Amino acid sequence: MNQFLRPIRSFVHRQKKLSKCQQLAFAALSEQNTLSTPINFKILFERDAYTILEIGFGMGDSLLQQAQQHPENNYLWIEVHRPGIAFVLTQIEKFKLHNIKIIYADASEILARSIPNHSLDLVQIFFPDPWPKTRHHKRRLVQAKFIDLLHEKLKLNGKLHLATDWQDYAQHMLKVMENTSQWKNTAEKNQFTPRPLARPMTKFEKRGQQLGHAIWDLVFQTL
């Protein structure tokens, strides 16, 4: 038996060719965002502030708006989609945003080795890949082991905000979160929460609503 088993990934690399501008922006990322292990957020952002971790921001347009509207917050974004990262980097430069840091890596690995325990105020995971086929459900990001890891990284009374437009995945998320005593549902038990105004509306979500697609939000707090 192979003793070096590869971990199950919650993503696959579906990469598009980057423009020259995006290539330059992406190349600069490794130079500008060389992170220590573990990360010291006070040093990284050069201040002590409410810190939000976003996992999987796609093209990031709505989240850029969130960062612009709330300059008082620190935003750490983890993504593996290179075109999205490159686009966000160009926008960070364009609008001179200093409250965003990006990591190009697997979120599970970064959380395990680089994020200090009890250091995050909020974790956001919006519209993760639902992996709809039953044989692929093991690839879904929201699993009990991953949720336990997030709990370690959040402060006491820190929050986890999940959102999906895939009903089966929404039910899966709810079951995973309710099957632990470490979290409190900010809505009633076994209930989804109305869409929080703080969650930015994405182009993807607007298009889905026009087609009649439902959105499910979950907000849980650490105990």
pLDDT tens profile 115-169: 999 999 999 999 999 988 999 899 899 999 999 999 999 999 999 999 999 999 9
**Structural domains counted in the chain:** 1
Instruction: Quote the CA–CA distance of 222 and 158 in Å, as a whole number.
Output: 5
**Ranges assigned E (strand) in the chain:** 51-55, 74-79, 100-104, 120-126, 154-164, 183-185, 216-222
Indicate which residue of 106, 129, 148, 165 is catalytic: 129
Structural domain of 136: 49-222
For residue 215, pLDDT over 70 is answered with yes
> What is the pLDDT, as a whole number, of residue 213?
83
pLDDT tens sequence across 34-86: 455 789 999 999 999 999 999 988 788 888 999 999 999 999 999 888 888 88
For residue 8, pLDDT over 60 is answered with no
DSSP classification of residue 200: P
Q: Is 126 part of a structural domain of the chain?
A: yes
> What is the pLDDT, as a whole number, of residue 66?
92
For residue 7, CA distances in Å to 77, 79, 108 come to 22, 18, 10
Q: Is 25 part of a structural domain of the chain?
A: no
Instruction: Quote the CA–CA distance of 55 and 43 in Å, as a whole number.
Output: 21
Is 217 annotated in the active site?
no
Cβ neighbors of 20 (< 8 A, separation 6 or more) are none
Q: Is 110 part of a structural domain of the chain?
A: yes
Instruction: Quote the CA–CA distance of 1 and 20 in Å, as a whole number.
Output: 45
At 77, which CATH number?
3.40.50.150
Q: Is 10 part of a structural domain of the chain?
A: no
Q: Is 157 part of a structural domain of the chain?
A: yes
Q: Is 191 part of a structural domain of the chain?
A: yes
What is the pTM for the complete model shown?
0.86
Q: State how beta strands 216-222 and 120-126 pair.
A: unpaired
pLDDT tens sequence across 155-200: 999 999 999 999 999 999 999 999 999 999 999 999 999 999 888 8
Instruction: Quote the CA–CA distance of 142 and 146 in Å, as a whole number.
Output: 6
**The 216-222 sheet, strands edge to edge:** 100-104, 74-79, 51-55, 120-126, 154-164, 216-222, 183-185
Cβ neighbors of 152 (< 8 A, separation 6 or more) are 117, 118
For residue 11, pLDDT over 80 is answered with no
Q: Is 73 part of a structural domain of the chain?
A: yes
Q: Is 202 part of a structural domain of the chain?
A: yes
